[in-house]
Copies of this chain bind each other. A is one copy, B any other.
Amino acid sequence: MPELILGGARSGKSRYAEQCARDSGLEVVYIATAQALDGEMQARIEHHRAARPPHWRTVEAPCALAATLAAQAAAGRCLLVDCLTLWLSNLLCADAESLLATEVDALSAVLPQLPGQVLLVSNEVGWGIVPDNPLARRFRDEAGRLHQRLAAQCARVTLVVAGLPLTLKESS
């Protein structure tokens, strides 16, 4: 059953998700949504990569997340997607903007059918002042809606604060 792991920037959500993946005892495939478009982003990607066990396979999925999950999921395997907010951001910036609704629907449709374990990491971005920038407002609306939709589908939802997990949902 899929799990959603939410948290602010530098909340330790990625580290917590990686610990969950390690603890699963399953083969781990890391689904990276980041694109190294500038030096700062490249540095963040390297920082995260260096913290992961070297035997984890990495698959890049900047946009086609549903298709990548469908292709990679298997019984006895744990897919760790880090993170949904960058994926949303990639879709919003893509030339074909209608891609976003299609890809979000595809993710929502494929999620309940995936074998094995799936961990979805995402950023909370809507707890500040309304941004001046219309694209930023659109982004936080899309992120918020995505989190609500996926949280309803996930068996477990965790909010990470200062590296500490707070359980928001746990289906028995």
Q: Which residues of A are in contact with B by a Cβ distance under 8 Å?
A: 4, 6, 8-12, 15, 40, 124-131, 133-134, 136-137, 139-141, 143-145, 147-148, 150-152, 157, 159, 161-164, 166, 168-169
Apart from A11-B144, A129-B131, 14 more pairs, CB < 8 Å: A8-B144, A9-B140, A9-B144, A10-B147, A11-B148, A12-B148, A125-B128, A125-B129, A125-B130, A129-B139, A150-B162, A151-B163, A152-B163, A164-B168
Q: How far is the CB of A145 from chain B (nearest CB, A)?
A: 6
A168 cross-chain contacts in B, Cβ below 8 A: 161-162, 164, 166
Which 9 pairs, one residue from A and one from B, show the smallest C-beta to C-beta distance? A10-B144, A128-B128, A9-B126, A127-B127, A8-B126, A151-B162, A148-B163, A147-B162, A8-B127
Complex contact A124–B8 (CB within 8 A)? yes
Number of copies: 3
A129 cross-chain contacts in B, Cβ below 8 A: 125, 128, 131, 133, 136, 139-140
Q: How far is the CB of A75 from chain B (nearest CB, A)?
A: 27
